Structure 1
């Protein structure tokens, strides 16, 4: 039987549906969107999601919530196995109307794996229906993780930001950015915060953090990652990393 196309799959008459996929390393899904809200979880590998509003990274034990109708592209870092859940807008509950990275608890992980085996047109009043209802509740309750990076919409600032994301360096200064836009430092600072909701220093650090995670997941040495991102030592990088995520970078490298 040929696989269902996305429209037919999403039209399945159930409030919550799920499926799994496998992708080779470096595979990219071009920008697309879903009528339903989507939780994208990689049980193996790391995923990077980009939308018009920002970028999100989901390393192991994390997942990304993508609200209905949100255009997004996905890049696979390493070989990836995903478990996706698609939820009708009227039952998304407290999952939210903005993209976010969430912690995947052992219970949520087990539900995601089990849901991938549930028939598309399951009995909503039976065991499978209860499983899907519990899955939605656990998604709504999952703690948010600060693994996101707002992207500016101002064309000139967006261009500078895109260049920085190609080669992030924590030592790059605000004066260089302001000069590149022909602006005074104070005016640039106001523009940057208005566009991203963050200070330049916060955004720069977050960009470096998100650049580090895929490399750590791929097995790169902490010292190599730290120095490539402009940190003076692995110790200073590890201090920042632990402060941001509550764990040392070696934990993510091991995972």
Structure 2
């Protein structure tokens, strides 16, 4: 199924529904929720999924797991998505908080195949077997550190959201302490309790994930590093690789497209 609303098929008695959707550049899906669990896969482009407790930056060929009834919005840059909508009873192990995940080559092909299936696929058919295999593959997804958690403390959250709009790797903790009127030790406790990360870990993750959208847009690595306040491109590249396991150039456009087997297949596939 392509370019339809999940509400049109949500009531079908099938555990797995798959929908492919193409979005215009810089599109915003305003806050909404789904009855079903969702696997939101970026076939092309980059997505930023936001909920009340954090944001997830999802590059090409990765996905985010969105639990049922979780209010979220999605900001998209050059995105074509492939979504799986799954009956909650079929995935009792599903996380209760969004989780960015890697997508294996097998699951990627299964998702592509599922999008081409009729929504009311016959039981015991090949398509039903594809849906069953998808459910098995989802259990072995590898989590990725593509989220920036946000604390519930209102004052600290406001500072975090302000930082996310203009991140700076050298933004000193002393500035935050002065605004909050707390010691650095107290700030460290607030961050650990509110985000599960230290201040420096949170600051670095926020900077690296913010940079993904600029890399995808084609901004040179040197300029991205300078924009974030890194002393030199090598320092930025090293931090990027530590977090994401690949250099920044692996996410630059159009290279990201050609590195992704899904995108290559869809570009050259004949219409069905």
**TM-score range normalised by the length of the shorter chain:** over 0.9
Structure-to-structure mapping, 1:193-232, within 5 angstroms: 193-232=192-231
Query: Which residue of structure 2 lines up, in the alignment, with residue 97 of structure 1?
Result: 96
What is the rounded CA distance, in whole Å, between the counterparts of 1:175 and 1:114 in structure 2?
Answer: 52
Runs of 4+ in 1 over 3 A off after TM superposition: 3-8
Structure-to-structure mapping, 1:28-67, within 5 angstroms: 28-67=28-67
| CA distances 1:46-79 after superposition (whole Å, capped 9, x unpaired) | 11100111110110121011011111100001x2
Any conservation in 2 of the 1:226–1:233 contact (CA below 8 Å)? yes
Residue 162 of structure 1 pairs with residue 161 of structure 2: yes
User: Which consecutive residues of structure 2, in runs of 5 or more, have no partner in the other structure?
Assistant: 257-272
Structure-to-structure mapping, 1:117-132, within 5 angstroms: 117-132=116-131
**Paired positions, count:** 252
What is the rounded CA distance, in whole Å, between the counterparts of 1:35 and 1:150 in structure 2?
Answer: 24
Q: TM-score, normalised by structure 2?
A: 0.89
Any conservation in 2 of the 1:93–1:140 contact (CA below 8 Å)? no
Any conservation in 1 of the 2:18–2:115 contact (CA below 8 Å)? yes
Query: Which residue of structure 2 lines up, in the alignment, with residue 185 of structure 1?
Result: 184
Cα deviation for residue 125 of structure 1 reads 1.5
What is the rounded CA distance, in whole Å, between the counterparts of 2:235 and 2:211 in structure 1?
Answer: 14
Any conservation in 2 of the 1:44–1:82 contact (CA below 8 Å)? yes
Query: Which residue of structure 2 lines up, in the alignment, with residue 21 of structure 1?
Result: 21
| CA distances 1:172-212 after superposition (whole Å, capped 9, x unpaired) | 01110011111122122211211111111000001001101
What is the rounded CA distance, in whole Å, between the counterparts of 2:192 and 2:162 in structure 1?
Answer: 19
Q: TM-score, normalised by structure 1?
A: 0.95
User: Which consecutive residues of structure 1, in runs of 5 or more, have no partner in the other structure?
Assistant: none
Query: Which residue of structure 2 lines up, in the alignment, with residue 174 of structure 1?
Result: 173
Structure-to-structure mapping, 1:67-78, within 5 angstroms: 67-77=67-77
